[in-house]
Chain A
Amino acid sequence: MSGQVPALDVKTVDPTLVAGHRSSLWRDTLRGILRQRSAQAGVVILGFLLLIAVFANVVAPFGSEQDLRYPPISEQVNRLAPPCIHLLGCDTSLPQHAFGVDGNFFDVFSRVVYGARISLFVGFVTVGFAIVIGTLIGAVAGYAGGWVDNLFMRLMDVVLSFPSLILAIAIVTVIGSGLIQAQLAIGIVAIPIYARLMRASVLSIKERDFVVASRALGESDRGILFRRILPNALTPLIVQGTLGIGGAVLEVAALSFLGLGAQPPTAEWGSMIGLNRNFIFNAPHLIIFPGIALSLTVLGFNLLGDGIRDALDPRLNR
């Protein structure tokens, strides 16, 4: 786009354009991603979920832990009442609850809506933690090489040698149960994926001429790692990270299902399913709706991740 600009006097050019301007590259990338159909679907699903999460207090008719029997509501509710929407032909004499009522006289729809907040937050924080630590480990191991590389990577191999959920359960057993602890456990288990990815990228990039040029200019090791290598190694990390969020959401939900993550009555989808699994035959709506929400979230992240990978991986370009 700068092609149409006639020869400019450099002094009149906005300084940000000359030095740190990178929007055109990112904008091109973003456009490429949004051309992928799966990415479009993912963006739509996640956008929808994000809106619901942000405006949960507007969307949800009740609080997430609000007992419908007591003031200020104190309406006539039946325990485990099935979904009732007047528009769809439900008897208008019954109170309206889109996803029904659960065993604690909570409105399931409100709880599912508030659950979106927790799950999206959990997904980003968990993967964010794993990416930051994993990237650091992988970058240092790949750049330093030698015994540092050996030490870090063997440690990662040890972590990888356990089935991830089993290891997460073990970690939670040690550090105690709760949503934060569950996130930490799932985050730790995910570190090796990012560390290995980062190490591989660093190994291939650090021999490139532009890195050698940086060294010849006198750049420090840290400068080379963070200014030259890291920005060029981000692509696979972004792809893996996006795909990883879906997995992390699911795994934290699994821990909550087992009672090791979010504790009832927190409106967390995994915990909701776990809490009500005994009612699966007489009140299936307690399981189905959080389950659908969970699947939708994971689907959204996977679609977006696939789209990003297709857009960024030149080998897949058709």
Chain B
Amino acid sequence: MTTTNGDRPLVEVEHLAEFFPIHGGVLQRQVGEVKAVDDVSFTIRRGETLGLVGESGCGKTTVGRLLLRLLEPTDGTITFDGTDITGLSERDLKPFRRRMQIIFQDPFASLDPRAPIGASIEEGLRIHQIGTPAERRDQVARIMELVGLQPYHARRYPHEFSGGQRQRIGIARALVLEPELLVCDEPVSALDVSIQAQVLNLLRQLQRDLGLTYLFVAHNMGVVEHISDRVAVMYLGTMSEVAPAQEIYRFPLHPYTIALLSAVPVADPGARARQKRIILLGDVPSPVNPPSGCRFHTRCWLRKQLDNPTRCETERPPLRDLGPDHQVSCHFAEELVQVERREELIANAAAVSSARAVSDEEEIGPVELPPPDTGGIFDPAAPIGDDTPGHP
């Protein structure tokens, strides 16, 4: 790892926003915008893994792409190793491209089907004109070995590989330039459960050996717990809570995080019966027309129990410190700090949820998180016990 700025975080993101315009009508005028990311701030420290979780469509993938300047942010700044890269031209950005890379969710779409994988992996070296052809080949062979591929695979084409192998190829392509930051955009969501563990362990090992920094985007809470040092939770384009991984799983302070974690399936039937599940009402609001104030207020179980304070509708809660290294964007998060009070509130919400679930089950079935389209695969390697949220 090349450290130029000792203690400073590798990445600092401030007030990041990305609005995608919606064009409509005969004249294709802009009729609105999708607020995919709206005022998000966070930092990634050197050598750590920041897990970024949230439901589908909450903007977590967009954040990852914004970090790499694959999308132009509407507002806000991204500082990489002390340099603001938000306004850089593609040419000035090129040296930074070497230092931050991405791996993708879909291993079938992320490799050029017409290029042998050796050429795909070598691409970064060619673009940055690093080394002689012989040196490049050596580097490619070295990286391939590092990710568990055989050197003779280099002249094969992507269609000759399985999903897990392709994901390794994608990782090799990203690592060939020896980057410092790796954005992992749901890198295991499309893989079989058995392969997921392999790839996760590979990523961990690479981090240890190469001193990499990860932004790990995922919707699977178990996977994120397994790999992250800190976890950031997003809801509808905003940051709900950021905390060290153990802290956020043991003692989450944002009502959304609590609900999200209460929906994580538990393998132990006894624990499952004791689990207090909080089922959120309705669907995620549209990011085209998000709720005013706190984005979560329309579905918040805590707000309901506090007799619907208007502050949630009118005032946007900032991300504020609550405990060491623990940031929450909720006006009333203090209610959840004291253990007895917290237990009571959560038990009430769970009771309401289960009563509703029983009455609804005949008609529409329970509404719960996470949404179905993500097919929440669970990682067997992740240790999950009775230590579920709601039982701190």
Chain A contact residues, CB within 8 Å of chain B: 2, 5, 7-11, 13, 15, 17-22, 24-25, 208-210, 212-220, 223, 228, 231-232
Please indicate the chain A residues that have their CB under 8 angstroms from the CB of B120 in the complex: 210
> What is the CA–CA distance of A5 and B150 in the complex, to the nearest angstrom?
12
Contact B101 A216 (CB under 8 A): yes
> With an 8 A cutoff between CB atoms, is B119 at the interface?
yes
> With an 8 A cutoff between CB atoms, is B154 at the interface?
yes
Given contacts A210-B109, A217-B101, A217-B123, contact A18 B70 (CB under 8 A): no
Majority secondary structure, A binding face: helix
Highest count of chain A CB atoms <10 Å: which of B90, B93, B112:
B112
Given contacts A2-B156, A9-B151, A15-B133, contact A218 B98 (CB under 8 A): yes
> Which of B109, B127, B134 is A218 in contact with, Cβ under 8 Å?
B127
Number of interface residues of B (CB under 8 A): 47
> What is the CA–CA distance of A17 and B153 in the complex, to the nearest angstrom?
11
**20 residue pairs from A and B, CB less than 8 Å apart:** A2-B152, A7-B152, A8-B152, A10-B137, A10-B152, A11-B138, A15-B137, A209-B105, A209-B106, A210-B110, A210-B112, A212-B65, A212-B70, A213-B173, A215-B70, A216-B70, A217-B124, A218-B127, A231-B114, A231-B115
> What is the CA–CA distance of A18 and B116 in the complex, to the nearest angstrom?
8
> What is the CA–CA distance of A219 and B177 in the complex, to the nearest angstrom?
13
Contact B116 A223 (CB under 8 A): no
> With an 8 A cutoff between CB atoms, is B113 at the interface?
yes
Q: Would you give the 0/1 interface string for B129-164, flagging 1 where the beta carbon is closer than 8 Å to chain A?
A: 000011001101100000000111011110000000
Q: Can you name the residue of chain B whose Cβ is closest to the Cβ of A209?
A: B110
Please indicate the chain B residues that have their CB under 8 angstroms from the CB of A13 in the complex: 151-152, 154-155
Given contacts A209-B106, A209-B109, contact A217 B177 (CB under 8 A): yes
Q: Can you name the residue of chain A whose Cβ is closest to the Cβ of B185?
A: A209
Contact B114 A232 (CB under 8 A): yes
> What is the CA–CA distance of A9 and B138 in the complex, to the nearest angstrom?
11
> Which of B111, B122, B170 is A19 in contact with, Cβ under 8 Å?
B122
Given contacts A213-B173, A214-B123, A217-B101, 7 further A-B contacts (CB under 8 A): A9-B151, A11-B138, A13-B151, A25-B114, A209-B109, A217-B123, A220-B90
Q: Would you give the 0/1 interface string for B84-119, flagging 1 where the beta carbon is closer than 8 Å to chain A?
A: 000000100110011011101110011111111011
Given contacts A10-B141, A20-B119, contact A217 B97 (CB under 8 A): yes
> What is the CA–CA distance of A22 and B151 in the complex, to the nearest angstrom?
17
> What is the CA–CA distance of A73 and B111 in the complex, to the nearest angstrom?
66
> With an 8 A cutoff between CB atoms, is B52 at the interface?
no
Given contacts A212-B70, A218-B127, contact A25 B101 (CB under 8 A): no
> With an 8 A cutoff between CB atoms, is B68 at the interface?
yes
Please indicate the chain A residues that have their CB under 8 angstroms from the CB of B97 in the complex: 216-218
> With an 8 A cutoff between CB atoms, is B341 at the interface?
no
Chain B contact residues, CB within 8 Å of chain A: 65, 68, 70, 90, 93-94, 97-98, 100-102, 104-106, 109-116, 118-120, 122-124, 127-128, 133-134, 137-138, 140-141, 150-152, 154-157, 170, 173-174, 177
Please indicate the chain B residues that have their CB under 8 angstroms from the CB of A15 in the complex: 133-134, 137
Contact B101 A21 (CB under 8 A): no
A185 to chain B, nearest CB (A): 34
> What is the CA–CA distance of A10 and B118 in the complex, to the nearest angstrom?
11
> What is the CA–CA distance of A50 and B204 in the complex, to the nearest angstrom?
60
> What is the CA–CA distance of A216 and B170 in the complex, to the nearest angstrom?
12
A59 to chain B, nearest CB (A): 40
Contact A19 B112 (CB under 8 A): no
A151 to chain B, nearest CB (A): 15
B103 to chain A, nearest CB (A): 9
Contact B114 A18 (CB under 8 A): no
Q: Can you name the residue of chain A whose Cβ is closest to the Cβ of B91?
A: A220
Q: Can you name the residue of chain A whose Cβ is closest to the Cβ of B134?
A: A15
Q: Can you name the residue of chain A whose Cβ is closest to the Cβ of B124?
A: A217
Please indicate the chain A residues that have their CB under 8 angstroms from the CB of B128 in the complex: 218
Which 9 pairs from chain A and chain B are nearest by CB?
A218-B97, A10-B151, A209-B110, A10-B141, A209-B109, A217-B124, A209-B104, A231-B114, A210-B112
Contact B151 A19 (CB under 8 A): no
Contact B102 A216 (CB under 8 A): yes
Contact B114 A218 (CB under 8 A): no
> What is the CA–CA distance of A292 and B68 in the complex, to the nearest angstrom?
62
Please indicate the chain B residues that have their CB under 8 angstroms from the CB of A208 in the complex: 109
B185 to chain A, nearest CB (A): 9
Please indicate the chain A residues that have their CB under 8 angstroms from the CB of B101 in the complex: 216-217
Please indicate the chain A residues that have their CB under 8 angstroms from the CB of B105 in the complex: 209
A208 to chain B, nearest CB (A): 5
